[in-house]
Structure 1
């Protein structure tokens, strides 16, 4: 979901950039006002893109940490299963010896 927002924000920045460049070429106070508006819009979009990049990086970091925890748990489960199997085989061997 956040990656989609990231790309949407990036597309917004790319869509606004030509408008901003065109506004710079115009003259007069109207052009000046448009340039300021577009510059502010570009700055807002850039800030949003940076925020989204940080959010994505945080999510990816959290995902990596969760994957590592799952990997450790899987190793613990495998070890416990091995110990259980060994104990069951020992118990079965002891039962046969009686």
Structure 2
């Protein structure tokens, strides 16, 4: 199965509503590797790595997010191992500090 890495930026009301925790929990339950963090511009950024169908399903779920979120846009870009390596050492999926 093909492994892919995608960088995802989610915009809307996505901070202060548990979006990062929801994304990390959902991604981990799906067996994905990566990380998530808030950005100072009010968006949430994530890197998702795994099999193409699972990453695609996770990106689809990002359009909904947790119940309190109001997602306006989900931007998806190809990413590589350098971005994935920003996660905490020894963790499959990390919640990173805001940037």
With normalisation by structure 1, the TM-score equals 0.26
Structure number with the higher helix fraction is: 1
TM-score in terms of structure 2 length: 0.26
Larger radius of gyration: 1
